[in-house]
Amino acid sequence: MGLAGLLLGLVVVPAVLVSTSLRHGAPRAEAEPEPPGWELAADALPEDSLWPLPQRVRTSPRQLQLAPGRFQLVHGAGSSAGPGCGLLQDAFRR
């Protein structure tokens, strides 16, 4: 390839970079519609809501009381995350 390839590369690469930056800087013709029922994540839940969300939720009019001294969140016996998972530890503290 030699010198001719090097010179060609010096011309082609900047041309490609300029053309892609111009294309990405141009505004879109149409905004993509959001699927019905979707909300922005920041607006979806209040700050003090349950997170991470449970896999299943079953509601009941019956109310149960928890003894604060005996209640704890722990990793399940089959959990692959374990006590070293910072994400879960942060969630448990919340």
Q: pLDDT of 71-85, one tens digit each?
A: 887 777 888 887 788
Per-residue pLDDT at 65 exceeds 60: yes
Q: What is the DSSP code (8-state) at residue 14?
A: H
Residue 69: pLDDT band with limits 50, 70, 90: very high
Residue-range definition of the domain harbouring residue 72: 3-93
Number of domains in the chain: 1
Distance of CA 2 to the CA centre of its chain: 47
Query: DSSP states of 34-71 as a string?
Result: PPTT---HHHHS-TTS-SSPPS-----S------TTT-
Contacts from 57-61 at CB under 8 Å and sequence distance 24+? none
**Residues 16, 22: Cα–Cα separation, whole Å:** 10
In this prediction the pTM is: 0.26
